[in-house]
Amino acid sequence: MTTPRFAEIAAKVRAGERLSEDDGIALYLEPDLLAVGQLANEVRERLHGDRTYFNVNLRYEATNVCEASCRFCAFAKLEKGQPGAQTATHEAAWKELAEFPDERLSELHMVNGLDPNLAFEWYEELLRGWKKLRPSIHLKCFTAVEIHYFAQKFAMSHEQVLQRLMAAGLDTMPGGGAEIFHPEVRERISRDKADGDEYLAVHRAAHRLGMKTNCTMLYGHIETHAHRIDHLMRLRALQDETQGFQCFIPLAFHNMHNAMEQLPESTAVDDLRTISVSRLMLDNIPHVKAYWVSMTVETAQIGLRFGADDLDGTIVHETIYHSAGSTVPMGLTRHDLLRLIREAGRVPVERDSLYGVVEEYPRASAPEGSMKVKDRNAKKHLELAR
């Protein structure tokens, strides 16, 4: 039982027309959640059919020392030497990669605090060491916020920073640090780091240098639906210009151990709706990810029918969300991911960092959700930390 407004929007989507800011807000207000999900699913299936991507990656944070003081951040520690402050040595960071158990590891994903104590060369050296250890490893490192910080601190342009890091081995950039672009929100939650325009400027520079990047949105705190749609519109505009974004990842706000503990967290219906609205609004970004660390494994799995086509990687060490109270397991194995994707009736595709196919797995022999006797043996019970 959808509204007439929804019918209009659905007609536009089916005709391949672009949605307006107003349409985006209407999608947030539409009472029939499943209808919104189904529309997003249509677009998702038009783009990717049943294919659902994941990769095997290693998450790494070299330092949690940070000059900035984002109010939602439970990860950063202000100064070196503070309890919990940790900066890795090169040797420790390299060891992490050297000892990674999965042969098929394709990507190392690193984001850090804005650590005033580290020299630019320290980062270059870090990347070079990893590449030397495993030349095939794809380095997806540094958020736009870090790149912008380096540019200011070391008096370089965004291009110069990126070029030097690329020379040291950087392959792509993750999408973190976007938060909410709109100044009404950004000034209240993370005023002392790159603003929205600066974030976009870094990605623009990266795209011009031929680099692919991802983009994100941190939602579910003090922003309104209008702020979220504004955020998506800005991403869409840059993508029209550069075509450099591969994947959009909505990130749900978690409220433990940070300065916004009094705020309630988003709930599953909001997480799913945000996936759907993003899929529908971002008509020029190929992939939308259901990031299970942020929204729980269960909701992310359902998200595969609400517009998402990527379930992220097998993350072994994740500390950013876990610092803020995330209770999902610290890592999922390939086996877990395959099961989750198949159980949702999709076809698992293990990908590399540029969405090249590493392996396409057969779909489950049973239809969606109805695991049969013969599938049981292959099914390991997920020991979730819940």
Partner 1 sequence: MNADGHGGQGPGGKALGKLLTKNRYGAGPIDPNGKLRFAGVGYLNTQPILHGLLQGLGASRLLLELGRPSEVARRLFEDEADAALVPAAAIAMHGGLEIAPGIAVGARGPVRSVVLLSERPVEELDTLLLDSSSRTSVVLARLVAAHLRKGRALTVYSRTPAQILAETRGGTGAVLIGDDALAARGRFACELDLAEAWQAWTGLPFVFAVWGARRGVLDESVRALLSASLEAGLAARTEIGVSWAEAHGGLAAEHERYLRENLHYELDEAALAGLREFFARAAEAKLLPPCEVRLAGTDATTPAAGRHDSRGHDSRSLDALLDFAAEGGRLSFDEALRLAEDAPTLDLGLAADARRRALHPEGVVTYIVDRNVNYTNACTVACRFCAFYRPIGHGDVYVLSREELRAKIQEVVDAGGVQVLLQGGINPDLRLTWYEELFVWWKSEFPNVALHALSPEEIWGLARLETECGEPTTIDEVLRRLMAAGMDSLPGGGAEVLTDRVRRKIAKAKCTSAEWLECMRVAHRLGLHTTATMMYGTTDTAVDRLAHLFKVRDLQDETGGFTAFICWDYQHDQGVKQVAGDTGTVLYLRMQALARLVLDNVRNIQSSWVTQGPGVGQLALRYGANDLGSTMFEENVVSSAGTTFTMDAQQIERHARAAGFTVARRNMRYQWLTTPS
Query: Which residues here bind partner 1, judged by CB under 8 A?
Result: 1, 31-35, 37-38, 41, 264, 266-272, 295-296, 298-299, 301-302, 305, 343-345, 367-374, 376, 379, 381, 386
Q: 346, 48 in Cβ contact below 8 A?
A: no
Stretch that binds ligand SF4, among 11-19, 69-77, 344-352, 361-369 (CB under 6 A): 69-77
Q: State yes or no: residue 73 binds ligand SF4 (CB under 6 A).
A: yes
Task: Compute φ and ψ for 212, nearest 5 degrees.
Answer: -90, 145
| CB-based contacts of 99, cutoff 8 Å, min separation 6 | none
Q: C-beta of 189: minimal distance to ligand SF4 in Å?
A: 9
CA Rg value for the chain: 20
- List the x/- string, 151-190, binding to ligand SF4 by CB under 6 A: ---------------------------------------x
Q: C-beta of 254: minimal distance to ligand SF4 in Å?
A: 12
Q: How far apart are CA 239 and CA 248, in angstroms?
A: 11
Between residues 115 and 270, which has the closer beta carbon with respect to partner 1?
A: 270
Candidates 107, 167, 168; CA nearest to 140 is 107
Which one of 193, 221, 227, 273 is in contact with ligand SF4 (CB under 6 A)? 193
| CB-based contacts of 58, cutoff 8 Å, min separation 6 | 96, 97, 100, 105, 107, 108, 109, 315, 316, 317
Stretch that binds ligand SF4, among 7-15, 67-75, 225-233, 370-378 (CB under 6 A): 67-75
**Tokens linked to 188:** 């209240």
Alpha carbon 360 to chain centroid, angstroms: 22
- List the x/- string, 106-145, binding to ligand SF4 by CB under 6 A: -------xx------------------------------x
**Tokens linked to 46:** 């038009």
How many residues at the interface with ligand SF4, by CB under 6 A? 12
Q: C-beta of 283: minimal distance to partner 1 in Å?
A: 21
Q: C-beta of 290: minimal distance to partner 1 in Å?
A: 12
Candidates 174, 147, 146, 177; CA nearest to 72 is 177
Q: How far apart are CA 294 and CA 271, in angstroms?
A: 9
Residue 34 interface partner, choices partner 1, ligand SF4, none, CB cut-off 5-8 Å depending on type = partner 1
Q: How far apart are CA 102 and CA 124, in angstroms?
A: 25
Which three-class secondary structure state does DSSP give residue 200? Answer: helix
Q: C-beta of 340: minimal distance to partner 1 in Å?
A: 8
Q: State yes or no: residue 218 binds ligand SF4 (CB under 6 A).
A: no
Residues that bind ligand SF4 (CB under 6 A): 66, 68-70, 73, 75-76, 113-114, 145, 190, 193
